[in-house]
Amino acid sequence: MSLLVVGSVAFDALESPYGKVDRALGGAATYFAVAASFFTHVNLVGIVGDDFTEQDAHVFRGRKIDLEGLERATGKTFFWAGRYSENLNERVTLTTELNVFAEFKPRLPEKYRGAEHVFLANIAPELQRSVLQQVRKRPKLAAMDTMNYWISGSNAELRETLRHVDILMINDSETRELSSEHNLLRAAKHIFKMGPSTLVVKRGEHGAMLVDKSGVFCVPAFPLEEPHDPTGAGDCFAGGFMGYLASAGKHTDAALRRAMVYGSVLGSFAVERFGLDRLRTLKRAEINARARHFLKLTTFKL
Amino acid sequence: MSLLVVGSVAFDALESPYGKVDRALGGAATYFAVAASFFTHVNLVGIVGDDFTEQDAHVFRGRKIDLEGLERATGKTFFWAGRYSENLNERVTLTTELNVFAEFKPRLPEKYRGAEHVFLANIAPELQRSVLQQVRKRPKLAAMDTMNYWISGSNAELRETLRHVDILMINDSETRELSSEHNLLRAAKHIFKMGPSTLVVKRGEHGAMLVDKSGVFCVPAFPLEEPHDPTGAGDCFAGGFMGYLASAGKHTDAALRRAMVYGSVLGSFAVERFGLDRLRTLKRAEINARARHFLKLTTFKL
């Protein structure tokens, strides 16, 4: 089943101890769509400027990614520049230029409006909600990301959007800020009252945790000796997670657990190289092999 | 098979948002021995002062813990006072009084010298080594803990002791300081060159990771809504881990994985109440039930 994503498409300038790029295609919707396309057909809603070339679109071509919803506007594409610390565990934003993204009003092509699986990447909560309003029926599964900027600056709007989604997928500091609760289990209970029935907490090098009414499921991060660039890892996690669920067409406990693993698999590949580089060459067989490696990493018998 | 532990027996004064105690029995060897005694017979080597009463020894009685190696000296028992932050994720040491522990020279009773499983809790590395020297044959399995104080202050002594142990069990910041390497996989490779063939990294609320030549195994921390007191959690982890291995009498990959789970189980119980309180009432059936809960927390099928 196809999967709708709305979010940023951007150019990134990245610096880490492993290298430097001045203009790499990035943005949450980009990472998400490429990761999810290994599992299912993806319809992408976003906006780019007239500096976005066919060469830039190349990463989407030859994949199951529909770009009818990618609006081309006059002006420059969203631009972000960041630098990572030596251990990749801290980053500073050097530049954020919203450019055409500042005026972004998501518009769903007619053929996207039957979406059964929807992912609202990190954008203004009122824009996230406008996407859900354009979908004809309540989706089988709607998930969203957000960030501290919206939690503190647009809390009422965010709360309104949260009422309409099934899964909230954020990191641990966002979980704590949104719920005003340090303990993640207690935080989940607060968040369930806001709307979502499932909370996925992304914990970077510590893996990810899913909490829902049936309990808790934890998956570690894949241990890598030389991660190069964490940019997009969370969006690739979301893409693997939602891509798998859309392809499975069911959201049983077993399917959600597998989705957590495929999310972790895609996130782990994303950080192996700069920007989208590793995903460009990634094969489905490698995804399956790494998922089996997660079994080895976590399996025990009593 | 019996298990030898050497380490501190102490009185602790603890403050956390959940309460305050002025004099609770603690110390690494205490927590370790109580946790391990659910699995195997434990021989304890340590020192206490004349303020240590039969009432204090009560937690050891009725368990498979031998106290012939617990020296009674004139003076006061090691005393430590600490206060935890609101979220229990930071602590400040208010007082450390070594007292009789300052002159501690571990002496193994004759009947302890055939030890096949040895755990050297966090004490001066030369004292750890003196215990190994008193054991008649190289143990089947020797494991040790240490801390930043010894890594920075007694590095050469620590390196000498590391040459003689199979398993090093420390937290992530200690792993990074000892190896001068942020990445834990690369850190493990450095540490293997120092002697141990297995590294267990205790990561607090993020669980634990075992690295050896056959790869990596990760176990999450048990999610608790209301942890009360993290004191002794790492020592209880070590006790569950080593206690299980001593009882199993083998160190296969499958046994090491189970040991990681039992370590996590004991650590999780330790933090539920103040000091040793939860362990005092703990039943073996509860340990087994929580181990099965770890299966539910981590199991997935592809």
Q: What is the pLDDT of residue A245?
A: 98
What percent of chain B clears pLDDT 70, i.e. is strictly above it? 100
Q: Which residues of A touch B297 (CB under 8 A)?
A: 215-218
Give buried/exposed letters for B256-266 (b at 16+ CB in 10 A, else e): bbbbbbbbbbb
Strand order, beta sheet including A19-26? A19-26, A10-16, A79-84, A91-97
pLDDT reported for residue A2: 87
The domains of chain B are located at 3-298
Whether residues B261 and A296 touch (CB distance < 8 A) is answered with no
- For position A86, what pLDDT does the model report? 85
Closest approach of B227 to chain A, Cα-based (Å): 9
Q: Is B261 on the interface with A (CB under 8 A)?
A: yes
Contact A207 B220 (CB under 8 A): yes
Closest CA–CA distance from residue B44 to any residue of chain A (Å) = 28
The more confidently predicted of residues A52 and A16 is A52
- Give me the CATH code for the B3-298 domain, please: 3.40.1190.20
Q: Which residue type, as a one-letter code, is found at position A60?
A: F
CB of B13 closer than 8 Å to CB of B81: yes
Strands A167-171 and A141-144: parallel
- Give the closest-approach CA distance of A218 to chain B in angstroms: 6
Tokens standing for B156? 């050469």
Q: How many CA atoms lie within 13 A of B112 on its CB side?
A: 26
What residues pair up with B10 in beta bridges, in sequence order? B26
Tell me which residue in A206, A261, A292 faces B206 most closely, judged by beta carbons.
A206
Q: What is the pLDDT of residue A240?
A: 98
Which residue type does B127 have? L
Mark yes or no for CB contact B298/A206 under 8 Å.
no
A155-188 residue pLDDT tens: 999 999 999 999 999 999 999 999 999 999 999 9
The residue of chain B nearest to residue A188, with distances taken between CA atoms, is: B225
Residue A109's pLDDT band, with cuts at 50, 70 and 90, is very high
Residues of chain B with pLDDT under 50: none
Helix (H, G, I), strand (E, B) or coil at A100: helix
Average the pLDDT over each of A86-95, A130-139, B145-154, B207-216 and give the range with the smallest value. Answer: A86-95
Average pLDDT, chain A: 96
**Which H or E run includes B5?**
strand B3-6
Residue A279: is it exposed, middle or buried by C-beta count within 10 angstroms (0-12/13-18/19+)?
Answer: buried
pTM across the whole model: 0.96
Task: Please tell me if residue B94 touches chain A, with a CB cutoff of 8 Å.
Answer: no
Residue A301 near chain B (CB below 8 Å): yes
**Least confident segment among A79-93, A159-173, A190-204, A230-244:** A79-93
Interhelix angle for A125-134 vs A155-162, to 10°?
A: 30
* pLDDT on residue B65: 98
Q: Give the pLDDT of residue B143.
A: 98
Residue B184 structure tokens: 């834990």
Nearest Cα of chain A lies from the Cα of B100 at a distance, in angstroms, of 39
